[in-house]
Structure 1
């Protein structure tokens, strides 16, 4: 079901799900999550995998900016467990209406502007969405939670999805980011995410709102918008365009396959301690140039060029301002407390990724 606009007065039994059976609607409603940004890259994967694995209903709120794509969710068309609402997380009247209408047991907050280059060119939208939007969501969640009674109040959680970039940049020999690492954001994007993290923390400590925060490393996998490194390289290589790598290509990132990230979020949502932060990483530090070369090798085997190999397309571009040199995640806390570990190695996850994009050429063409 798709709902547009920002003013809701819908009957959950007749419009939201399309069912006349009030008992069925009530059962679905009792196990429901409100997801923000669920038509973006990670949000899409979370919505699809959560419904497939748990059967739990999801109200999916997304503004559908350039990075959100409703076609990602085509497989859920007609599925009563998925309600899509196009709207802005800064619209507090809409947020309050959705919470009152659907009574979710949890909020999982993905919605964010996330591209560093775009934040450098135009930071205002990052402050609006990432800081003001998170504040709006927290305020409405607090009002909703305070009105809950008994088990519903005890069960409710607000899970905020953040990034390792809030911690700044590491030197080659420095230990990986832990939950105790001081914040040192270096871009407007990471500063806006740091601000939202601090708001979430404050709402727990001041109002006792049962929050959870996850800080993840670089995600990759299906449905990623083609401005990010891995899908950009795949899209460009397949049409013979140059493969531009920033600076000297020696910047290091820890890579996390998106399905592992979604599994970790569900684990934290179900078993994490309210008020805590959990770092989620893939134990896969790689230099950017090595990632691109590995991708080229995979494409050489999967779809060889008529002449030469894909690595011949690699070029080096002027580095972005303030480009962080290295990120690395220490995920010991989530392993120790929640027994979570990634299932994909970097090699296994990366091998799946170009294969997915090559199997969905219409998607890549529309997003590239």
Structure 2
């Protein structure tokens, strides 16, 4: 069996769909559904069990000899989260417990880190550099950074799962993100507005070296993220923490133009002043370095921005069945 925590969430549900497409139906879903429509994220997928997070420890002990791998994607992912105790419990302690269980029982362990660990980006986005100097800007980013540092320390003491990898996701977009509210991608937030020919608001630049709407991000399609994670689980790769972006920064304007092109419409882009409280800490550039992943042997081509947005719009956002 393959255990996937956070399996009804955005990246988790896409991973379950991808594993199904590879012939894996022995998926154990670990998550809560709540009162919304997150159930639709897994409505089409095959799995053998559904476990609430508070019951996971008991389930693992009963199923030790059956578990082939653990993908740990569950976490509080809001960058505005402020309850430090809850973050410690659900983002840090839970990850530590799963790491220790996988170490004891020699089960491969793959987990979600985040590009938020890089903070304002002044120290670059190198996944080969010493991470000790990084300074995340929010509680969520710090929790992922704290576990990254802890995992590396455990590995250095030879107290680690036989195969493991952490993935620093950059700006991921794709199907099954409707439940995320304000944390949805710019594509999901603006597709309906592009179709309705309503104004699309992008921030003006408050730096002379960037034009309005030309702030840059490393936008990565969720299907590429799933391809990479599945690749790591298929055979022994170099253990460690890896960036998961495209290695090519693109502007918010490019992103909206790609939504328009995929919809056959010219978007009505308008530039609005950036709120005063954001100007001092707004990132104008993020871009993953991808040499470490390539050195590990990953050779598959990533979706370009235009290809990924076109697939998202035409296969999901622009259809009656919007779920992967």
Partners of 2:220 and 2:305 within 8 A in 1:
yes
The answer to whether residue 165 in structure 2 is matched with residue 212 in structure 1 is yes
Instruction: Work out the number of aligned pairs and report it.
Output: 305
Tell me if the contact between 2:170 and 2:245 (Cα under 8 Å) persists in the aligned partners: yes
Return 5+ residue gaps in structure 2 as ranges.
206-212
TM-score by length of 2: 0.81
Residues of 1 paired with 2:224 and 2:314: CA distance?
Answer: 18
Out of 109, 114, 128, the residue aligned to residue 179 of structure 1 is 128
Question: 1:163 aligned to 2:103?
Answer: no
* Aligned-residue offset at 1:356: 2.9
SS at match of 1:107: strand
Deviation for aligned residue 1:196: 2.2
Q: Per-residue displacement from partner, 1:39-77 (whole Å, max 9, x unpaired)?
A: 11111111111121133521111123589812112223x
Q: Is the contact made by 2:100 and 2:160 (CA closer than 8 Å) also made in structure 1?
A: no
Query: 1:277 aligns to what?
Result: 241
In our comparison, the structure showing a higher alpha carbon Rg is 1
CA distance in 1 between counterparts of 2:217 and 2:39 reads: 29
Question: 3-state SS of the aligned residue for 1:290?
Answer: helix
Q: Runs ≥4 in structure 1, deviation > 6 angstroms?
A: none
Mark the CA change 1:140 to 1:297 in structure 2 (over 3 Å): closer, same or farther: same
1:346 equivalent in structure 2: 305
Q: Distance in 1 between matches of 2:232 and 2:114?
A: 15
Q: Is the 8 A contact 1:245 1:314 kept in 2?
A: yes
Correspondence 1:256 to 2:220: yes
- Mapped to 2, the partners of 1:68 and 1:170 lie a distance apart of 35
Counterpart selection for 1:61 from 1, 8, 30: 30
- 8 Å CA contact 1:261–1:280 kept in 2: the answer is yes
Which residue of 1, 7, 10 corresponds with 1:41? 10
The runs of 5 or more residues in structure 1 that have no matched partner are: 1-31, 146-152
Structure 2 counterpart SS, 1:338: coil
Output the TM-score relative to the length of structure 1.
Answer: 0.72
The offset of 1:86, in angstroms, is 4.4
- 1:325 alignment counterpart: 284
1:223 matched to 2:176? The reply is yes
Question: Cα gap change, 1:341/1:67 in structure 2, threshold over 3 Å: closer, same or farther?
Answer: farther
RMSD (CA atoms): 3.0
Question: Is residue 2:141 matched to residue 1:190?
Answer: yes
Alignment of 1:1-368 (within 5 A): 32-55=1-24, 57-64=26-33, 69-76=38-45, 79=46, 82-88=47-53, 91=54, 94-101=56-63, 103-116=66-79, 118-119=80-81, 125-143=86-104, 145=105, 153=106, 156-170=107-121, 176-180=125-129, 182=131, 183-206=134-157, 207-210=159-162, 211-225=164-178, 227=182, 228=184, 229-238=186-195, 243-246=200-203, 248=205, 249-273=213-237, 275-299=239-263, 301=264, 304=265, 310-312=267-269, 315-318=272-275, 320=278, 322-361=281-320, 363=322
Q: CA deviation at 1:250?
A: 4.0
